[in-house]
Amino acid sequence: MWRKKEISTVEIRSFGPGANLCFNILVALFAISCLLPLIFIIVISFSSEHSLVTNGYQFWPAQWSMAGYEYLSRMSGKLLNALGVTLLVTVLGTAINATFTATYAYSISRSSFRYRRFFTLFCLITMLFTPGMVANYIVMTNLLQLKDTLWALILPMAVSPFNIIVMRTFFKRQVNESIIEAARIDGASEMRIFCQIVLPLAVPGIATISLFAALGYWNDWFNALLYIQNTRLVPLQYLLMQIQSNIQMLSQNATQGAQYATGLSNIPKEATQMAMVVISVAPIALSYPFFQKYFVRGLTIGGVKE
Amino acid sequence: MPNPEPEMPTVQPETPEEKAARKKENRQNFWYSVRDNTPLLLFVIPGAIWMIFFFYIPVFANVVAFKDFQFDPNGFVASLARSPWVGFKNFEFLFSSNAAWVITRNTVLYNLGFISLNLIISVFFAVVMSQLRNRRLTKVYQTSMLLPYFLSWVIISYFVYAFLSPNQGLLNSMITGNGGKAISWYNAPQFWPFILLFVGTWKGIGYNSILYFASAMSIDPTLFEAAEIDGANKWQQIKNVTLPALVPLMTLMTILAIGNIFRADFGLFYQVPQNSGSLYNVTSVLDTYIYNGLTATGDIGMSSAAALYQSLVGFILLMTSNFIVRRVDPESALF
């Protein structure tokens, strides 16, 4: 039955064979252009330093080499530290973000919650206006005194007002108020209702917001740029950024190739640099095809407004 | 005061005791309602505290735009209180310099470019993908198109660097390989409007086209059947069935984007050009200007003025665009 329906829709809304081939090629080209830079970086990370310096970056280097990754394993202290910071921030941040967002959204989704209008408005207002980078910076550094702490990497993204509104709609649609009422009559506490009845029903929504949060934390360099000076607290993305600006500075100071090549011995080499990029992309590139379906669902999850 | 005729509906002034009793009752009612709502209130509190510290207090901290701000060792309140008021001086400074014009122009023009490119290209891809015969292949395309969206701007800037690096970049080796002269890309402002528009659009197309794709796939198939029976060819079907069905989403996305026209993607404009000074004229936008003012030059007054300028105009634009959406289609309005 399902099969039959699928086939008939394919036939109705699809191109003729000729147009189909043309458009397939066109879309495929763009799709490849999205993967190509990553492939390029991977190839560079496996190129030998010699061929990089003489021939530049190439899709097919004269000489392959694992030297970049070997060098990386030797200088692993800094890298491992950055990886550790990023992992810690991502795990802790995602847990905090998902908890705070879900509980807030659940409360304002309950029609029996007396202050729900107030707190809904309290959340909506934050979406209308941006306090701005300077004001946030002053509050973070001067009022909260969080400069150079791990919290500076976690707290700025700990709650997402937009996700709260999305989740509120999700709870309203997914969790029937009568189930909650029934549980209450049976004597369940609010905590128990939330953990044992609401959460299991809300797993898809919570998976989606956790995903967004985890991605945000893993990819974050902006908060590190503003608040982190201690080298032990540098996350992976910020480390990559620092290395890049070092290289950039050196290549601007050195006039031409020869000096550049000599200066290369004491900074992370080209291949090493790209190997680090590969390592920081790998978790996302390997896992996103699997979580993509949650992501796509997340785009439509809050689609219906109440 | 005892009332001899209770049936007379006269309004008696409250005695102090009555007033106290009423107040007490109100207070009691308030505490009862708090007690009844305690669990749900506890659920709300962490998020509410976050909003206070990361939104409400910073909003008021925007007064620094009207002050000559100095960090005071005694903390936040002291810093705010002890910095002298300077009125609109920071704003006068900002708008008397050429920078205000350049950054506003860049921010708005780039965003206009992104809005139109995004709209045209992602609708095009969405429509095309909704018509491809092989569903599995379409999925593969979408998955690869989504990859850049999931990567950070730091990574993307490495991607760009692999092509544009003055010494090793692929583009320069191609140019010199064909006998041309190598271009110092990070010092050549004439190319950057195109590079930034290209990179910014490229990163977002996957995401946007999936949005439109989902909308195109939810069109009732009987409409296409009817069109086919009426003798419409493929192009006519797209023009008269698919595109009209996408118009509401297109309107909504565009209007929301116009509401954000004063906000630039900091990562794109800071990371991809690698904050190269010789490109500032074409890459400087409000967000990078504010950041550079805050950190590099340490001019908190001027950058807070620029930040408030950005927030206020952004707020007005958002309210206006939401007002328009509500007139056009109340269902898709933000509030």
Q: How confident is the model at residue A301 (pLDDT cuts 50, 70, 90)?
A: low
Query: Is residue B20 in a domain?
Result: no
Other Cβ atoms closer than 10 A to A65 = 17
Query: Is residue B279 in a domain?
Result: yes
Best mean pLDDT range from A3-17, A61-75, B30-44, B298-312: B298-312
Q: How confident is the model at residue B298 (pLDDT cuts 50, 70, 90)?
A: confident
Other Cβ atoms closer than 10 A to A70 = 12
Which carries the bigger pLDDT value, residue B84 or residue B121? B121
**pLDDT, position A300:** 59
pLDDT at B123 over 70: yes
Closest CB from B62, B141, B172 relative to A135: B62
What's the rounded mean pLDDT across residues A276-295? 86
Residue B185 amino acid letter: W
What's the rounded mean pLDDT across residues A18-35? 92
Query: Is residue A250 in a domain?
Result: no
**pLDDT, position B22:** 78
Distance from CA of B130 to the nearest CA of A (A): 7
Residue A148 in contact with residue A225, Cβ under 8 Å?
A: no
d(CA B150, CA B207): 9
Query: Is residue A16 in a domain?
Result: no
**pLDDT, position A33:** 94
Which carries the bigger pLDDT value, residue B24 or residue A269? B24
Where residue A137 sits, what CATH number does that domain have?
Answer: 1.10.3720.10
Query: Is residue A170 in a domain?
Result: yes
pLDDT at A16 over 70: yes
Query: Is residue A64 in a domain?
Result: no
Q: How confident is the model at residue B10 (pLDDT cuts 50, 70, 90)?
A: low
Q: Among B36, B152, B208, B271, which would you mutate to test the A interface (most chain A Cβ atoms within 10 Å of its Cβ)? A: B152
d(CA B72, CA B68): 12
Q: Which of A13-17, A198-202, B307-311 has the lowest mean pLDDT?
A: A13-17
Q: Which of A11-25, A26-40, B34-48 has the lowest mean pLDDT?
A: A11-25
pLDDT at A255 over 70: no
Query: Is residue A106 in a domain?
Result: yes
pLDDT at A297 over 80: no
**What percent of chain A has a predicted confidence (pLDDT) above 90?**
36
Binary contact (B43, A104; C-beta < 8 A): yes
Output the DSSP codes for B210-232.
Answer: HHHHHHHHTS-HHHHHHHHHTT-
Closest CB from A31, A142, A155 relative to B76: A142
Axis-axis angle for helices B192-217, A270-301 (nearest 10): 40
Query: Is residue A297 in a domain?
Result: no
Q: Which domain holds residue A181?
A: 77-227
Q: How many domains does chain B have?
A: 1
Distance from CA of A297 to the nearest CA of B (A): 10
Q: Mean pLDDT for chain A?
A: 83
- For residue B134, which phi and psi values (nearest 5 degrees)? -95, 105
pLDDT at A119 over 80: yes
Query: Is residue A94 in a domain?
Result: yes
Distance from CA of A231 to the nearest CA of B (A): 18
A136 vs B contacts (CB less than 8 Å): 54, 58
Distance from CA of A150 to the nearest CA of B (A): 16
Cα B144 to chain center, whole Å? 25
**pLDDT, position A207:** 87
Q: How confident is the model at residue A258 (pLDDT cuts 50, 70, 90)?
A: very low
What is the tens place of the pLDDT at every residue in B150-198? Answer: 999 999 999 999 999 888 888 988 898 888 888 889 888 999 999 999 9
Distance from CA of B216 to the nearest CA of A (A): 10
A213: closest chain B residue by CA: B150
Q: Which of A47-61, A127-141, B308-322 has the lowest mean pLDDT?
A: A47-61
**pLDDT, position B332:** 65
Q: Among A130, A175, A250, A286, which would you mutate to test the B interface (most chain B Cβ atoms within 10 Å of its Cβ)? A: A130
Other Cβ atoms closer than 10 A to A141 = 17
Query: Is residue B81 in a domain?
Result: no
A115 vs B contacts (CB less than 8 Å): 37, 41, 44
d(CA B27, CA B79): 37
The interface predicted TM-score (ipTM) is: 0.86
Binary contact (B51, A161; C-beta < 8 A): yes
What is the tens place of the pLDDT at every residue in B26-41? Answer: 877 878 777 778 888 8
Query: Is residue B219 in a domain?
Result: yes
Binary contact (A115, B37; C-beta < 8 A): yes
Three-state SS sequence of chain A: CHHHHHHHHHHHCCCCHHHHHHHHHHHHHHHHHHHHHHHHHHHHHCECHHHHHHHCCCCCCCCECCHHHHHHHHCHHHHHHHHHHHHHHHHHHHHHHHHHHHHHHHHHHCCCCCCHHHHHHHHHHHHHCCCCHHHHHHHHHHHCCCCCCCHHHHHHHCCCHHHHHHHHHHHHHHCCHHHHHHHHHCCCCHHHHHHHHHHHHCHHHHHHHHHHHHHHHHCCCHHHHHHCCCHHHCCHHHHHHHHHHHHHHHHHHCCCHHHHHHHHHHCCCHHHHHHHHHHHHHHHHHHHHHHHHHHHHHHHHCCCCC
Query: Is residue A268 in a domain?
Result: no
Report how far apart, in Å, the C-alpha atoms of B171 and of each of B95, B176, B197, B277 are: 39, 9, 18, 22
Q: Which domain holds residue B272?
A: 100-332
Three-state SS sequence of B13-38: CCCHHHHHHHHHHHHHHHHHHHHHCH
**pLDDT, position B150:** 92
- Rg of chain B over Cα atoms, rounded to whole angstroms, equals 29
**pLDDT, position A303:** 46
Query: Is residue B109 in a domain?
Result: yes
Q: How many domains does chain A have?
A: 1
Nearest-5° Cα angle at A205, A195 to A214: 100
Q: Which of residues 169-228 of B touch A (CB under 8 A)?
A: 169-170, 172-173, 186, 202, 205-206, 210-211, 214, 219, 221, 224-225, 228
A215 vs B contacts (CB less than 8 Å): 150
d(CA A296, CA A287): 15
Under 8 Å CB pairs connecting chains A and B tally to 285
**pLDDT, position B180:** 85
Q: Which of residues 87-146 of B touch A (CB under 8 A)?
A: 125, 128-135, 137, 140-141, 143-146
Residue B249 in contact with residue B215, Cβ under 8 Å?
A: yes
Where residue B263 sits, what CATH number does that domain have?
Answer: 1.10.3720.10
Q: How confident is the model at residue A298 (pLDDT cuts 50, 70, 90)?
A: low
Which carries the bigger pLDDT value, residue A153 or residue A306? A153
What's the rounded mean pLDDT across residues B128-149? 90
Query: Is residue B197 in a domain?
Result: yes
A130 vs B contacts (CB less than 8 Å): 263, 310-311, 314
B147 vs A contacts (CB less than 8 Å): 34-35, 38, 285, 288
Q: Mean pLDDT for chain B?
A: 87
Q: Which residues contact A147 (CB under 8 A, 6 or more apart)?
A: A140, A141, A227, A229
Q: How confident is the model at residue B13 (pLDDT cuts 50, 70, 90)?
A: low
B61 vs A contacts (CB less than 8 Å): 131, 135, 138-139
Binary contact (B62, A132; C-beta < 8 A): yes
What's the rounded mean pLDDT across residues A93-104? 95
